[in-house]
Structure 1
Amino acid sequence: MSKTKLMIDEVEKWSAHNYHPIPIVIAEGEGIWVTDVEGNKYMDMLAAYSAVNQGHRHPKIVSALIDQAQKMPLTSRAFHNDKMGAYVKKLCEFTGFEKVLPMNTGAEAVETALKAVRKWGHQVKGVECAEIIACQNNFAGRTISTISFSTEDQYREGFGPFTPGFKTVPFGDLKALEDAITDNTVAVIMEPIQGEAGIIVPPEGYLKGVREITKANNVLMVCDEIQTGFGRTGKLFAFEHDNIRPDVVTVGKALSGGLYPVSAMLSSKEVMDVFRPGDHGSTFGGNPLGCAVAMAALDVLEDENLVERSKELGDYLLDELKKIDSEHIKEVRGKGLFVGVELDKPARPFCEALMKEGILCKETHEFTIRLAPPLVVKKEELDICIEKLKKVLK
């Protein structure tokens, strides 16, 4: 029996069956390449759902992790640590926001934003029932509150009752959003580009329209940039494509280069100052190890011009994919190195065929192949991927 089968069988026996991975067991990674337990090498075209924008095991981020782990990995927020101040200052200056609330996972960052906008609604706007509007086909995690505004049946089945106070409108429909706003609406939360839904890019000017509607109605705009942030779409944040500035942004994944769970809520003083000591927190949020890793990850983004690389190489990848002559391709869409190839039949068999060709990717919403390589990818490496896609899709 192969190592791969033994290890997969072990997971199947002892773990809850809450994922359906591509049948490969990865043991090592470097840059855009990973190696399985059999010694086979693959090009990673998923980057851990955009967590590994800086590439696997980036030496600068690894060095920061090792150095900090040998000093002080964790101290609770009962005490200050010598890394958090430098980290929150750097993240604010890097992103242009006034304040940061450090957390660990993407779902925690979204939960933090939900609490912040509701408390803002009660204390500042003066509403009694703080209502939040989300977009259909959203994905913000799988906590009870985030699935409460999901429109995906599987995410909700068997998990009710749900958190009240949410409503959903079609993504890309400004009139539906405007009609849904009431005196009790405190926020609109959305992904600037819907990732889990299949890399759905909204109509041009949509985010700008959302910003105008929310401002006119004294409603906060929350952008979930956990997948799209830190260069993935060819801008630092995807909302920048419409030249806007939301009130709240949630970030995670690439904030740590994939080495350690780090996330955050970014906002203004007005919104963030609704929190008082004891209102919200996390044992690991703002811990020194996470802070050190995140600062190094931000340095890599800047030093290696990864945002600019994503724009340049993403345009190239989109253009080349659109040239592929295949009866199975319905649409190719995306921005930067965040691309979806929608097919006329389930994408899973094509992803498994690509694995056999040395390319790792994953289906999303059944019919779409999601392509999101580390931003350190080279043009010649993208050419390899494109040729393999041509072969499999034909």
Structure 2
Amino acid sequence: MSASVIDFVATEARFGAHNYEPIGVVLARGEGVWVWDTEGNRYLDCLSAYSAVSQGHCHPKILAAMVEQAHRLTLTSRAFHNDQLALFYEEVAALTGSHKVLPMNSGAEAVESAIKSVRKWGYEVKGVPDGQAEIIVCANNFHGRTLGIVGFSTDPETRGHFGPFAPGFKVIPFGDAAALKEAINPNTVAFLVEPIQGEAGVVIPPAGYFTEVRELCTANNVMLVLDEIQTGLGRTGKLLAEQHEGIEADVTLLGKALSGGFYPVSAVLSNNEVLGTLRPGQHGSTFGGNPLACAVARAAMRVLVEEGMIDNAARQGERFLSGLKDIRANAIREVRGRGLMLAVELHPEAGRARRYCEALQAKGILAKDTHEHTIRIAPPLVITSDQVDWALERLATTLTQDLS
């Protein structure tokens, strides 16, 4: 690293909390699938800010909407109406088929909002005794970092020394419909689950799993809450990952790509039953639904559809996955993915995935490791065939190296 890069990294280390372990690059500019560091070196972004930059870095139409709205009105709080919120509601509902929308800021806020809402529905509509509501979640889940959420995480790094935690959650294995059936009881109000477990290493459930899950939730009057914060808005080659099995959630959580990487925007989408229980003063957010966020999200959704990014994610994802599976490397244990949500899991004896990510950086690709031995690959949905092939060449060269 050059002196200037070392200065940036050292300053971060001196003043910042050490709650991340970034790859050793300092980025200064981005456009489309590319980012440049402070030294002018170009990289293909294969993380997309954990799928938040699905529309590509600094998309000009989203940028224009942000700048225009920033000149007009940025924040009113929900104490007053604004001329962007109703349009956002209308457009996100039309796009996703939702009946009610609750705008928030971060993905974790959307998850917390959903937890509150399904509990309230359980008490006021389902008739669960007060204080007895249960929500079923999956092992190896990742729904955020708030205290409420880490309380039902199974990752010791996420949970350690942050307790005590709130009760009311039951953990079952992911992808096991029989375990869900056994876990449901009269006090169960919801099943909160990721369609694909992203942070766990792009873990895809067995075919037919979510069809069974939907049937079980319907039969037992349990709300199916799908956390589509990473998988949603085209990442898996469909608008929502639930569409791969032709089901509909009762509550859907969106974030990340909802703003194209320009601004923190998230949303809880639901049927009328769940969000219909909320009354004035019972839940809110100063910034949630602000006019700047709404204008940005409207543009982000519009370009996603108008520019064919979802179909492109399906096509390029198939190309990328096929190319990864063709790589013959002793280090590779498994390749998996759906759309442009991909992962290469390495054999433990091949060494830490981070070393391969650092080797990829030297070849002009930025990817990120998870759970020691898995490399996540999630480029912006605007990636082209030539760019996929360019990345595959460098991935093949790197993965066939002995970095153990």
- The TM tier, using the shorter chain, reads over 0.9
Aligned length: 394
1:370 to 370, 376, 388: 376
Q: Partner of 1:355 in structure 2?
A: 361
Q: Partner of 1:207 in structure 2?
A: 210
Q: 1:122 & 1:158 partners in 2: Cα distance? A: 31
CA shift for structure 1 position 380: 0.4
Q: 1:49 & 1:381 partners in 2: Cα distance? A: 19
Task: Kindly provide the CA deviation profile for residues 14-65 of structure 1, in whole angstroms up to 9, marking residues without a partner as x.
Answer: 0000000001000000000000011111110100000001000000000000
CA shift for structure 1 position 145: 1.0
Amino acid at match of 1:126: G
Answering whether residue 152 of structure 2 is matched by residue 149 of structure 1, we say: yes
The runs of at least 4 aligned residues of structure 1 exceeding 6 Å deviation read none
Amino acid at match of 1:169: I
User: Taking every aligned residue pair, what percent have the same amino acid on both sides?
Assistant: 56
2:318 to 310, 315, 320: 315
Q: 2:21 & 2:194 partners in 1: Cα distance? A: 24
TM-score normalised by the chain length of structure 2:
0.97
Q: 1:127 & 1:389 partners in 2: Cα distance? A: 52
Q: 2:134 & 2:385 partners in 1: Cα distance? A: 46
Task: Kindly provide the CA deviation profile for residues 316-337 of structure 1, in whole angstroms up to 9, marking residues without a partner as x.
Answer: 1111100001000000001000
Amino acid at match of 2:21: H
Answering whether residue 298 of structure 2 is matched by residue 292 of structure 1, we say: no
Any stretches of 5+ residues in structure 2 without a counterpart? none
Amino acid at match of 1:368: T
Q: Partner of 2:85 in structure 1?
A: 84
Q: 1:366 & 1:70 partners in 2: Cα distance? A: 45
Q: 1:134 & 1:281 partners in 2: Cα distance? A: 24
CA shift for structure 1 position 238: 0.6
Answering whether residue 305 of structure 2 is matched by residue 302 of structure 1, we say: yes
Q: 2:196 & 2:371 partners in 1: Cα distance? A: 15
Q: How does 1:16-95 map to 2 (within 5 A)?
A: 16-95=17-96
Task: Kindly provide the CA deviation profile for residues 144-175 of structure 1, in whole angstroms up to 9, marking residues without a partner as x.
Answer: 11111111011000000001100110001111
Q: How does 1:93-108 map to 2 (within 5 A)?
A: 93-108=94-109
Q: 1:288 & 1:109 partners in 2: Cα distance? A: 18
2:277 to 253, 258, 274: 274
Q: 2:57 & 2:359 partners in 1: Cα distance? A: 23
CA shift for structure 1 position 140: 0.1
Amino acid at match of 1:235: K
TM-score normalised by the chain length of structure 1:
0.99
CA shift for structure 1 position 270: 1.4
Amino acid at match of 1:15: G
